[in-house]
Amino acid sequence: MRTERSTMKSKRAQLFRMVGGHLYSLKHWSAVSRLVVCGLSGLLLIACATEKKDFMASAREFESRTLFAPAIEEYKDAIEENPNNAEAYYRIGALANEIGNTEFAAQKFRQALNIDANHPGAKRALTTYHINRGTIARQQGRLSAARSELQAAVRVDPRSSVAQLELGRVHEAEGRLDEAMQAYTASAEADPQNIDTQLALGRGYLAQKQYAEAVTALKAVMDANPDRAEAYIGLGEAYFHQGRKQAAQQAFEQAIRHYLLKGRRDLAKQVKEQADALFPKVSETKK
């Protein structure tokens, strides 16, 4: 009996030791698991804390899908993240321009230029904004408003050939020929290939009785675009005042021919009358 009891106690002790070992292993594994999970969670929290949304990329994605409203919101978030983000201000302005909100767009272009005075997109866009407004005002006869807008365009980009040309036209319409010629000259320096500028220069030189300079400018127009009848008219006037009457007659005839080819018989008639007034006995033109 004693032997059986001793054996049973030994087996129970062995069993308790086995169970205890397993329990210890389970507790140990549970503790390790908790450490691992906590560690991973901590890493995820750190990653989430350090990862930043790329608002500019998100905005461009919306923009590429013509989702302008959400794109603008993303650009605004980019500005909130970095108030000196000139590109974000410019992009908001460009999108506002797309939907016709030109005043708001101009405001954003100015904000972009306040941060980066040489931002190419903002400079070009704001210059165009003022040119458009100035040109419309000039065509409507609102010369003072036109001058103000075009001077603003020149302040944004003094190298804008179009802005200088339009400003010169306003000065000329106001009778300020000297200022007009300064603007035309600046326009030609910015873009020597601007044919409208060369034509304006030629007409300006004629008004100032600088006939040699007028011929040079108007020939540049003809070389680039032989169909510009206005250049032939100017040449006819310049040649006449230089005493080159045959060359003047030929220039007027060329102007008449180009107007007839374009179906502008009314303008051809005006040029013929002008030529007849200068050469009443010689000028003969085919209708």
Q: In the chain, what are the domain boundaries?
A: 201-287
Amino acid in the structure at residue 173: A
Quick one: which of 185, 187, 191, 200 has its CA closest to 230? 200
pLDDT of res. 14: 54
For 13-64, how does the pLDDT look when each residue is reduced to its tens digit (9 = 90+)? 454 454 444 434 434 444 434 434 444 444 433 444 445 678 889 889 988 8
- What is the mean pLDDT of the segment spanning 254-264? 93
For 174-189, how does the pLDDT look when each residue is reduced to its tens digit (9 = 90+)? 999 999 999 999 999 9
For 215-257, how does the pLDDT look when each residue is reduced to its tens digit (9 = 90+)? 999 999 988 888 899 999 999 999 999 999 999 999 999 999 9
When the pLDDT of each residue in the chain is averaged and rounded to a whole number, the result is 84
Does pTM surpass 0.85? no
- What is the mean pLDDT of the segment spanning 161-180? 96
Reported CATH class of domain 201-287: mainly alpha
CA angle at residue 109 from 105 to 115, to 5 degrees? 150
Alpha carbon distance 101, 91 (integer Å)? 13
Alpha carbon distance 264, 284 (integer Å)? 18
pLDDT of res. 52: 62
**Which of 10-19, 206-215, 261-270 is the least confident region?**
10-19
pLDDT of res. 66: 85
pLDDT over 70 percentage in the chain: 79
